[in-house]
Amino acid sequence: MKEVLHLTGETFQKEVLDYEGVALVDFWAPWCGPCQMVGPVMEELAGEFDNAKICKVNVDEEGLLAQQYEIMSIPAVYIFKNGEVQETIIGAQAKATYREAIQKYI
């Protein structure tokens, strides 16, 4: 079963921007209640998609990435395809919302 990738400023370029394919990136923080609800959903999605990466970025630890993507509220989920942002989903959503967003770009 695939796991959620926990990204840092050092790994973001390789795992998301240089990746040929779809990557979902969940910008989150440990103190954020809605982020805690979305976490298990991301784990489930990682197991469902062999052809997409499911990633998380802790905005407290990776402030530069949060700044670069202008994260104002979390959770903020970005869908990338071939390194380009395709879609942004702000706030906790149903699993189906994230699944449909991934499927649009695969």
Residue 93's CATH number: 3.40.30.10
User: Catalytic positions, please?
Assistant: 32, 35
Q: Using an 8 Å Cβ cutoff, are 59 and 68 in contact? A: no
**SS3 call for 44:** helix
pLDDT at 2: 84
Instruction: Kindly tell me if the per-residue pLDDT of 1 is higher than 90.
Output: no
Q: Which domain holds residue 76?
A: 5-105
pLDDT at 17: 98
pLDDT at 51: 93
Question: Mind listing the pLDDT tens digit for each residue in 2-53?
Answer: 899 999 999 999 999 999 999 999 999 999 999 999 999 999 999 999 999 9
Amino acid of residue 30? P
Quote the number of domains for the chain. 1
Rounded distance between C-alpha atoms, residue 106 and residue 83, angstroms: 13
Amino acid of residue 53? K
Which pTM was predicted?
A: 0.97
Rounded distance between C-alpha atoms, residue 60 and residue 20, angstroms: 28
Rounded distance between C-alpha atoms, residue 4 and residue 98, angstroms: 14
